Amino acid sequence: MAPQDRLIPAFSRAPSSPLQGYQTARPPLLDVADLCVAYGRREVVSNAGFRLERGRSLALIGESGSGKSTIARAILRLLPAEARASGHVAFEGQEVLSLPERRFRPLRGRAIGFVPQDPGHALNPVRTIGAQALEAAARLDSGVHDKAARKAHVLDIFAQVGLDQPQRVFDSYPHQLSGGMLQRVLIGLAVLPRPALLVADEPTSALDVTIQKRILDLLSRLREDLDIALLLITHDLAIAAERADRLVVLKDGRIQEEGRTAAVFAAPASAYARKLQGDVPALNPDRYRPLKDRAARQRAETAAGHDKIIVSGMTKRFLVDGRSLTAVDDVSFKVAAGTTHALVGESGSGKTTTIRLLLGLEQADEGEITIAGHRLRAGDRTSMRAVWRQLQLVYQNPFTSLDPSWTVERLVREPLDRFGIGERAERDERVRAALASVRLSEDLLSRRPGALSGGQRQRVAIARALVLKPDVIVLDEPTSALDVSVQAEIVEVLLSLQAELGLTYLFVSHDLALVRQLAETVSVMRHGRIIEDGRVAEIFDQPREAYTRTLLASIPSGASRNALLTPLETEPGRAAARVEVLA
Amino acid sequence: MTYVLSATQTSSRLGAVIRIPPGVILAFAIIALVIGWSIAPGLFTGFDPAVGVPAQKLLGPSLDHWFGTDHLGRDLYARVVHGTASSVSSAFIAVAIGLFAGGLIGLAAGFLGGWTDIVLARLVDILLAIPRFLLAVIIVTALGFHTLNAAVATGIWEVAVFARVMRAEVIKTRQATFVEAAFLAGGSRWHILLRHVLPNASRSVLPLAVLHFGLSILVIAGLAFLGYGDPPPASDWGLLIATGKNYLKWPWLVYAPALVTIATVLSVNRISRWLRKTD
Amino acid sequence: MRHAYLSFAGKRLAQAAVVILLAYVFTFIVVSILPGDPVTNVLRNPQNGFSEEEIQSIIAAQGLDRPVLVQLWSSLSSFLTGDLGLSLRSSRPVTTMIAEVLPSTLTLATSALTVALTLAVLIAYGTQFLPKRWGQGLLRGFPSLFLSVPSFVIGLVLIHVFGFKLGLFRVIEPDSAWATFFAAVALGIPVSARIAEVLIANLDQEARQEYAAVARSRGLGQAALFFRHLVKPSLLPVVTVVALSFGELLGDSLITEAVFGRNGVGSLVQRSVATQDLPVLQAVVSLAAAVFVLVNLLADLVYPLLDPRVTLIGPARQSPTKAVETAAPGAAA
């Protein structure tokens, strides 16, 4: 794994990266210089260099393919066998990249801890958590050889990371716990040996927003209590700004910018960092104001005041293991023509079932749905076809919602063919127009989805929904599978289409910052019920429900915690940690 | 996640052509030769497979007789070449039966579900419960000893295999998001079945068909070895090996046809693995 | 949980019984409906030299003069009571004939399975411990090579090399220890290739899982990672593969017995095929199906006990979009 041909004596290293001007008496905890990682001839990290001092925190920020995770794994020497790393990584002054595996292994897991991205896959599924924890505990040369003492130590750590029932967790298999609990277990195992450095690779991106905040709080607390340095890898600029002392911004494996968080944040020097900052919804609540004003003016002119979506008293129950489970409970809302209504909630809140009912993919047990003047009769295909002409859906994941064996042209034309709209020439014309309206070039017409990027695929999906010229489009988390900068492009496309065509959107999301940017009205869902609804501005300014407040508090403020602490951010976090375990 | 974009469709296709590993090229060359042998055996050998020269019996491999001669003085290479057509085409028939009948059963079971699925799935279970070779033996017994019947007998077990895989693929594809998307785009059941489900479900069935082509060559060779194919002077590969086993003192009589069989099946399997990977 | 397991086991047992019965009916239909009438082919065949009276008595004894459905009913009911009927050719009870040859085949099959498992484990785990440069590629090539070799060729090569050249055993003594061993090797090698293929694929897949990297990040070495983390999950699917390969063992023993001249169930089938002795064939096929179904039933019943992830309560109805939504966090217990 390490390049055997460049064994460099640990302490006779030349001064590292030119980015670092100062010298300290003690070597920094982690000093990375000229780090390159390549798969075959493809270099994914080029000349990366940065330093991390003891007890401090540093965030590596970048989008997919920026090489941030690769750097983390290079430091831990966990790269796949086909990857080649070169350059210098010094830990407490000792060069580790060229160290033989046998001598590096004692460092890994003892001095350097690792918190992975997806807790659901980070523990062996066929062994109990206790067995894996004891295995980790046995590796510590703490002088404790007694199994009972080790177990007590593990249970103690579990309690410290906020697991309410350590013994139950100890006896469980990974699949029996929630993602948040598993991430606590993994953090517990990582800090068990009191490492000097904790590497956290997107530790919260697989978790719900409220849990995300609690996990980040836990990491911050452990860092302070145990004096651990934190290397945080994230795609989320706002999180990084909130949690790290220094930032390193990466793009295509190269460092774009590096510096103190406050400085980078206040005045990004590189063009990429500026763009990234501008694209983060949490930091730019008013970014789309002009577009939205244009849409509002158009609404006023056409005076289209009536409601395009009317849902009243909708209830849906599923039979799960012989018990009736109410997935959607007496849900009612209205969406005015030409506006965007947001449906907000975490996993299991019922928002997905709500839109499936709306689209006639499930049949409601009670309640009425009216879309663009059509009363919905789910199960009756002829009447549903009439509804679908006015109601289309853009799915969450463009990697699964487009048939991989079809070309872009066929995909976009499919609704026209199926609904028998126009002659051949007219259909071709409409396909081209739809592609142009989502700003995709006609060169892509003959491509298949596999040859498109995620953003391009999602735009194809939007063009497919648009080509029928429907009144209403349901957007099911349309950007959650995409990078921030791609997300910004998609949102811009959606809003300009709304301004031009007067479309009505039902926007489903868990991302409140994004909702604030683009919706007029919002319904907050929890456990299948709408607990609060109203105009976005009002709800964000004066939330009535405690749950809405927790959701709002989960939006990373972007403000460094060292600089300012808002009361909202600390207290509910601690209290909510218990709620999660009990839930 | 990294998106590797190719500039145009044609260049990516061209790239795929260039990236064929050498082992696969060799496999294709061997298969081309085998196909040549079965279409025009006369082009590859001047000897008559059925008539021998008694004075030249049991000669070792030489420049004149590449694989040597058998106990009747017949050129073994000529016999192998002339036996190719029935050895290979029968495997092809077996796979074709399995692919079409099995594919149709699997498609119906997976797409219609309900009682159709339950009945068809049980039928497939029964076929799969009977050991493949034993099933082929009783069917060939009932039909009569003939290479074509051996092909049919092998094909019937293949029906079960393809039905099961096709059913699983159809069920998987049917639940794909893009199928629901096609439904919302106004697609009828038939449209979705033929245009979305079938093409995507068949993708993994092609490498499987190639793989089972190789397996069927082995099974049919086994049937011929036990004498359940065409009788001599036919020269199916399995039959040649069976004759050779009585003359183990002259081992080329076993090794030559065996190596041809192994090389063919190995090539077929290599191609199947490559297809699975490139998909 | 316990209740769920029992009801699952009961359901699978009932399914297995149905499949065995239907397999019997299927064989009956194949042999009676397909062209080729046993009476004219076997009994009236002048080569067999039956007199007209003998023919009449055999027809009466076998009930060959009755309608096919009645024949099916009576043979099915006697099958259920364990009576497999009389041989058409020798008029001896089929049960006795099978019992005579079964031990030889069982010995062969169990030794072949032992050989297959040993070889597969050696090959698969060898790939994990041999260095990349030498040996690993060769070892990884073994399964695909052995899946391309007819088992009778392996048998003939073994006989040629170890019997003829090295003189370890003589072909005319098929039941000697060496002869049995090599027959088991010939039968076991293709099966071992199939098991090794699955085992190698599983090991590679498990080694690529995130949990393997995370376990290494806690300071675990290669060997500890392999033995404590990778062996169990990679072995679990092998239970199913081994059960499935029973069909291959039973079917291919037919050829292996012919190659090594062993007197077993396979040679009984061969003789019965030659004389179109349908009751014997039918019995053997149904028994083979029963063994196969029962072994796989056992595998299905054992698997949930080995793998904690398998829950026997069927998954709640899940729509694709719902699956995406719930995929990440999973439900709290």
CB-nearest to B9 from A403, A418, A451 is: A451
Over the stretch A448-495, which tens digit does the pLDDT of each residue have?
Answer: 988 888 889 999 999 999 898 899 999 998 888 788 888 888 898 899
Percentage of residues in chain B having pLDDT higher than 90: 16
What kind of fold does domain B22-39+69-278 have according to CATH? MetI-like fold (1.10.3720)
Give the end-to-end CA distance of chain A in Å, rounded to a whole number: 43
Q: What is the DSSP letter of B232?
A: T
Element (H, E) at B125: helix B114-129
Subunits in contact with chain B (3 or more CB pairs closer than 8 Å): A, C
Domain residue limits, chain B: 22-39+69-278
Residue A510 pLDDT: 85
Judge whether B278 is closer than 8 Å to chain A, CB to CB. Answer: no
Residue indicated by tokens 């169930």: C265
pLDDT of B274 above 80: yes
Per-residue pLDDT of chain C (333 residues; tens, 9 = 90+): 567 788 888 888 888 888 888 888 888 887 776 655 656 666 666 666 667 777 777 666 666 666 777 777 777 777 777 777 777 777 788 888 888 888 888 889 999 999 999 999 988 888 877 776 666 777 788 888 888 888 888 888 888 888 877 877 776 677 788 888 989 999 999 899 889 988 888 888 888 888 888 888 888 888 888 888 888 888 888 888 888 888 888 888 888 988 888 888 888 888 888 777 778 888 888 888 888 888 888 888 888 888 877 765 443 333 332 222 222 223 332
Q: Would you tell me which residues 168-207 of chain B have a C-beta closer than 8 angstroms to some C-beta of chain A? A: 176-182, 184-188, 191, 196, 199-200, 203
Name subunits touching A (3+ CB pairs < 8 A). B, C
Task: Of C277, C258, C280, C256, give the one whose Cα is nearest residue C267.
Answer: C258
Q: Are the CB atoms for A56 and A222 separated by under 8 Å?
A: no
- Calculate ∠ Cα B212-B216-B218, nearest 5°: 120
What pLDDT is recorded for position A22?
47
- In C, which residues are within 8 Å of A400 by CB distance? 320, 324
Provide Rg for chain A, Cα atoms: 26
Give the domains, in start order, of chain A with CATH numbers. 26-111+197-279 (3.40.50.300), 119-194 (no CATH), 288-299+306-558 (3.40.50.300)
pLDDT of residue A59: 92
| Chain A nearest-CA residue for C207 | A80
The topology (CATH level 3) of C101-244 is MetI-like fold (1.10.3720)
**Closest Cα in chain B, distance from residue C306 (Å):** 24
Residue A120 has its nearest CB partner, among C220, C320, C330, at C330
How close is the nearest chain B Cα to the Cα of A79, in Å?
Answer: 15
The residue extents of the domains of chain C are 1-89+277-313, 101-244
**Nearest CA-CA distance, residue C313 and chain A, Å:** 8
The answer to whether the CB of A42 falls within 8 A of the CB of A83 is: no
Chain C hits for A112, CB-CB cut-off 8 Å, are 217
Tell me the chain B residues in contact with residue A66 when contact means C-beta distances shorter than 8 Å: none
Q: What are B181-235's pLDDT values in tens digits?
A: 999 998 888 899 999 999 998 888 888 888 898 889 888 888 888 888 777 777 7
A110 and C211 within 8 Å at the Cβ level: the answer is: no
Going from the C-alpha of A162 to that of each of A113, A223, C60, the distances in angstroms are: 18, 15, 82
Q: Where are the alpha helices (DSSP H) in A84-197?
A: 101-104, 129-138, 147-160, 166-171, 179-191
Interface ipTM: 0.81
CA distance B200 to A450: 14
A464 and chain B: CB distance < 8 Å anywhere?
A: yes
Flag if C328 and A347 touch (Cβ within 8 Å): yes
In angstroms and rounded to an integer, the radius of gyration of the C-alpha atoms of chain C is 25
CB contact, 8 Å: C22 with chain B?
yes
Q: Measured between CB atoms, does C187 come within 8 Å of chain B?
A: no
Interchain contact, A116 vs C214, CB within 8 Å: yes
Round to whole Å and give the CA distance between A214 and A200.
15
Regions of chain A short of the pLDDT cut 50:
1-24, 560-583
Round to whole Å and give the CA distance between A456 and A398.
9
Q: Write the CB contacts of B109 (distance below 8 Å, at least 6 apart in sequence).
A: B116, B117, B120, B121, B124, B163, B167, B170
What was the pLDDT predicted at A461? 93
Beta strands in C49-189 (DSSP E): none
Mean pLDDT of chain A: 83
Name every chain C residue with its beta carbon within 8 A of the beta carbon of A118.
210, 328
Interface test with A, best of C214, C222, C226, C227 (most A CBs within 10 A): C214
Instruction: Check if A66 contacts B (Cβ < 8 Å).
Output: no
Taking CA–CA distances from B131, the nearest residue in chain C reads: C247
pLDDT of residue A506: 94
Which residues partner with A198 through β-bridges?
A113, A230
